[in-house]
Structure 1
Amino acid sequence: MAGKEAKLLSLGIMATRIHAEELYFTRIAQASEEAGILVFRFCPDQINIQEKTVYGDEYDYRSRQWVPKEIPIPDLIYDRNFRGLTWQSDEKIQWLKKETVFLGYGLPGKYQVFQILTQVDTLIEFLPPVNKVSSPEDIWRDLAADRKIMLKPEFGSRGTGIYLIESKANGWVVRMTKQEGGFERLFDKKTELDKWLRYLTAHYPYLTQRFLELSNVQHEPWDVRILVQKDSSNAWKERIRGVRIGRKHCITANLAAGAEVVPFNEMLNEFSPQLQHKIQESIEHIIQHLPHELETRFHRLFELGIDLGIDKKGDVWILDINSKPGRKIMERLDPENLHTLYKAPSLYSTFLMGELLKAGD
């Protein structure tokens, strides 16, 4: 049996916690059996650089369970490790990237991504202006220019840490989305808001983005999430396109704060036929060009969650790009095709190993 196992390709899923995304990882393991791939899950702190091994759980196809085990570094890595609001370069992860093959190498911070994309002629019209915050003075400057700005963490995801700041006659209103809905606070003294901004930006790197009016006729915030993945021939495939509709008084359509998910056509139908055509063309253009341009300028990617906003004029804006996207949109709108997501890592792993063998690596 040992000889047989040695010939099998191994795929390691690197997670923030060993039991994170439990059902998703289990389904990936089960879908990988047909491809003859051993699936292993682990956390970065369990990497042993000296021994070139990693400790975690291997999925046992006979017992249909995860079994604790120490194994050599897997042939390929599917990175599902989330870092939070700060970017901490992990020595073990950097070592691992040199030692083995990642399905996708992820993206750097939002500012670097958006700055690079502003150099792409085919995409620049879809990018809202973004500025890096070095100190609260940068935020005050942008507020003086626009009076209403979004404050976003450079390394945040899932709507965490996003604020809307608006200048009013009686002070400044700061709004955010919480699990129970919208929350706002009035700062009537500049010194008080400045103190809060200094505390916030001292702990996390932030960006400012021009406020865009992205809401439906009921004044509920909404955005479009598109999930794309590589297939077995290295081609990008759109898996799902859906719309998140947030609660009134919230500034984002955050699923964790109770946003609902509806099919894309429900959003599209709120626009005139002329604008519908414009919107469709813009989105198809973005899907066609964005993944390719990102890979050309950064590293190989396996999947992307592309968040788009559509304003009242039918202009489409790239709000965020996530190289470790979630699956809730597909779970709610197209659950019968979730198997395509479960099979995707093993199919792409097989493609990558085939290309490496051809290259002689």
Structure 2
Amino acid sequence: MGTDRSRSCDDPSLVFYAYKTDSDRQKPFGHQTNLLLDWCRIALELKQPAYVLPCGSVTKKTDEVIAYGYREDRKFVRKKVLWPSFVLRRTIVFPPSLAVRMQREERLFSQYSQLLSLPRTGSDKWSIYRYLSKNPELLPHLPTTLPLRSYADFTAFLLDYHDVYLKPIRGTQGQSILRLRNQQQGVLCESEKQQSLLLPRNDRLLAHIARYIHAQEPKFLLQQTVPMLHSKWGQRIDFRYFLQAIAKDQIQCTAIIARLANQNAITTNLSTGSRAIGLDRLDKHFNVTTWQIIDRSIVKGQNIALQIFKILRQKWPYLAELGIDMGISPDGDIKILEVNPVPGRKMLRQIDADLRIQSLRTVITYVRSLREMIGVPRKGF
């Protein structure tokens, strides 16, 4: 990764806001390095300069920032560029030491740029749940959810629903998730990395749950378990609806991808071993009755996903893309499992490499359409 010491007069217009690591020179942006290289390359092909701006690198509003641009040998080069007009957040996991600086940066971006993604401060699971639950049409599709503030919260919620998930409020790509089920002898606790535990309803259960309780600022939430369809071989299935803006008032569903969990898995995250399958190859995994339920429900799920995008756009008008995960119950009911504000491309790469590239191109053409419509915004000048 080199350095371009010349001063750039180009307005980058678009930056991808991502965490940079110093531990791997070949992959300075971790597992997102190749994705960001592809994105910047496509942007240059479309004559839309784009750069990667590392998290924590901006301390105040300045005329210029140091970002990383694409070089022909598929390397990043440091470059001084003007303050960005559009910012697309690509940060999911980062060191806690950066949290305060990133909050300050997001405030600066909100004031002086246009955000193309949900800000981290407003896109955790609980914030999105509260926002969507205000809509009476969406409320029936939302599983009951509650932030975990006390052991009393946990016991009451489990008593009401018998089968619940405990999840981090902020996304962790399927990590640190528990499934808890009432049994006659106690509470069955399942996770991806540890053996299942049957805990008696005494101090052992309290000690196990206590580590997840944060009274003042909850870090975990409880969610009613959604009954979902299973394959012929007992694998849970859910669906990722990948939505993108193509113009200020136009949204498209770029892809609908099924995720088949491992047989004994409690989540369908790819990071925990699930498999992405395109709809055109899905029917062989299900019996006729189950496939008919899926076939009837797919379009209904797409309409719900589009509605979610439009509702969130009322608050964040330049939103570029979302990943929305939904489950289908055996009776065809659809539940919204999660809204992913920073959708990855691993699933697209697994089912259709060309579609992955097209999804990157869609973001760039969307930014170009915004620039033509509203000009290059320079808020605060």
TM-score class, shorter-chain normalisation, is 0.7 to 0.9
Q: Aligned to 1:82, which of 66, 77, 92?
A: 92
Mapping of residues 231-246 of structure 1, within 5 Å: 231-232=246-247, 234-246=249-261
Say if 1:103 and 1:348, in contact at 8 Å, map to a contact too: no
Mapping of residues 176-255 of structure 1, within 5 Å: 176-178=191-193, 183-202=195-214, 205-216=219-230, 217-232=232-247, 234-255=249-270
Q: CA RMSD in A?
A: 2.9
Say if 1:232 and 1:351, in contact at 8 Å, map to a contact too: yes
CA-CA distance at 1:175 after TM superposition: 0.5
Alpha-carbon deviations, 1:157-180, whole Å to 9, x = none? 4212211111222221110123xx
Mapping of residues 281-292 of structure 1, within 5 Å: 281-292=299-310
Sequence identity percentage = 18
Q: Secondary structure at the match of 2:45?
A: coil
Residue of structure 2 in register with 1:347 after alignment: 365
Say if 2:147 and 2:218, in contact at 8 Å, map to a contact too: no
Residue of structure 2 in register with 1:12 after alignment: 15
Q: Aligned to 2:106, which of 93, 99, 120?
A: 93
Label 1:194 to 1:271 Cα distance change in 2 as closer, same or farther (>3 A).
farther
Say if 1:15 and 1:80, in contact at 8 Å, map to a contact too: yes
CA-CA distance at 1:137 after TM superposition: 1.2
Q: Which amino acid aligns with 1:28?
A: W
Say if 1:15 and 1:41, in contact at 8 Å, map to a contact too: yes
Q: Which amino acid aligns with 1:95?
A: L
Aligned length: 356
Residue of structure 2 in register with 1:275 after alignment: 293
Uncovered stretches (5+) of structure 2, i.e. residues with no partner: 21-27
Mapping of residues 105-116 of structure 1, within 5 Å: 105-106=118-119, 107-116=122-131
Q: Is the deviation greater in 215-224 or in 159-168? A: 215-224
Alpha-carbon deviations, 1:298-329, whole Å to 9, x = none? 55311110101111111111100011011122
Uncovered stretches (5+) of structure 1, i.e. residues with no partner: none
Alpha-carbon distance in 2 for matches of 1:358, 1:24: 25
Say if 1:11 and 1:77, in contact at 8 Å, map to a contact too: yes
Label 1:263 to 1:7 Cα distance change in 2 as closer, same or farther (>3 A).
closer
Mapping of residues 1-361 of structure 1, within 5 Å: 6-17=9-20, 18-20=28-30, 21-49=32-60, 51-60=62-71, 65-83=75-93, 88=99, 90-106=103-119, 107-178=122-193, 183-202=195-214, 205-216=219-230, 217-232=232-247, 234-264=249-279, 266=282, 270=287, 272=289, 275-276=293-294, 278-357=296-375
Residue of structure 1 in register with 2:25 after alignment: none
Say if 1:303 and 1:323, in contact at 8 Å, map to a contact too: yes
CA-CA distance at 1:9 after TM superposition: 4.1
CA-CA distance at 1:205 after TM superposition: 1.4
Alpha-carbon distance in 2 for matches of 1:313, 1:271: 14
CA-CA distance at 1:23 after TM superposition: 1.0
Label 1:115 to 1:271 Cα distance change in 2 as closer, same or farther (>3 A).
farther
Alpha-carbon distance in 2 for matches of 1:222, 1:325: 18
Q: Secondary structure at the match of 2:70?
A: strand
Say if 1:234 and 1:348, in contact at 8 Å, map to a contact too: no
Q: Secondary structure at the match of 1:223?
A: strand
Alpha-carbon distance in 1 for matches of 2:99, 2:77: 30
Alpha-carbon distance in 1 for matches of 2:377, 2:35: 32
Say if 2:174 and 2:272, in contact at 8 Å, map to a contact too: no
Q: Which amino acid aligns with 1:91?
A: R
Residue of structure 1 in register with 2:23 after alignment: none
Q: Which amino acid aligns with 1:310?
A: I
Q: Secondary structure at the match of 2:155?
A: helix
Say if 1:85 and 1:204, in contact at 8 Å, map to a contact too: no
Alpha-carbon deviations, 1:3-34, whole Å to 9, x = none? 99635543211102242311111111111113
CA-CA distance at 1:232 after TM superposition: 4.5
Label 1:360 to 1:311 Cα distance change in 2 as closer, same or farther (>3 A).
same
